[in-house]
A = this chain, B = another copy of it.
Amino acid sequence: MSNTIKKVAVFTSGGDSPGMNAAIRSVVRTCAFYKIECVGIYRGYEGMIEGDFKPLTARSVKDIINKGGTFLKSARSDEFRTKEGRKKAYDALVAENVDALVVIGGDGSFTGALIFNEEFGFPVMGIPGTIDNDIYGTSHTLGYDTALNTVVDCVDKIRDTASSHNRLFFVEVMGRDAGHIALNVGVGAGAEEILIPEEDLGLDRLLESLRRSKQSGKSSSIVIVAEGDKTGKNVFELKDYVEENMEEYEVRVSVLGHMQRGGSPSCFDRVLASRMGVKAVESLLEGKSNYMVGLLKDEIVLTPLEQAVKGKSEIDHELIRVSDIMTT
CB distance from A321 to the nearest CB of B (A): 8
Given contacts A16-B165, A298-B139, contact A325 B159 (CB under 8 A): no
The quantity of this chain's copies bound in the complex is 4
Within 8 A of B (CB), among A310-328: 318-319, 321-323, 325-326, 328
- Please, what's the 1-or-0 string for A205-221, where 1 marks a CB less than 8 Å from any CB in chain B? 00000000000111100
Total number of A residues with any Cβ neighbor in B under 8 Å: 88
Contact (Cβ within 8 A) B149 A157: no
- Do B158 and A262 touch (CB < 8 A)? yes
Partner of A328, one of B18, B58, B63: B58
A69 contacts B by Cβ under 8 Å: yes
With A58-B328, A270-B152, A270-B187 in contact, is A255–B258 under 8 Å at CB? no
Q: Is the CB of A275 within 8 A of B319?
A: yes
On whether the beta carbons of A268 and B145 are closer than 8 Å, the reply is yes
Tell me, rounded to whole Å, the shortest Cβ–Cβ distance linking A141 to chain B. 14
Query: Is the C-beta of A156 less than 8 angstroms from some C-beta in chain B?
Result: yes
Contact present for B267 and A185 (CB under 8 Å): yes
Do residues B149 and A149 form an inter-chain contact, with CB atoms below 8 A? yes
Given contacts A63-B190, A161-B258, 7 further A-B contacts (CB under 8 A): A16-B164, A43-B166, A73-B219, A187-B270, A268-B268, A274-B322, A298-B298
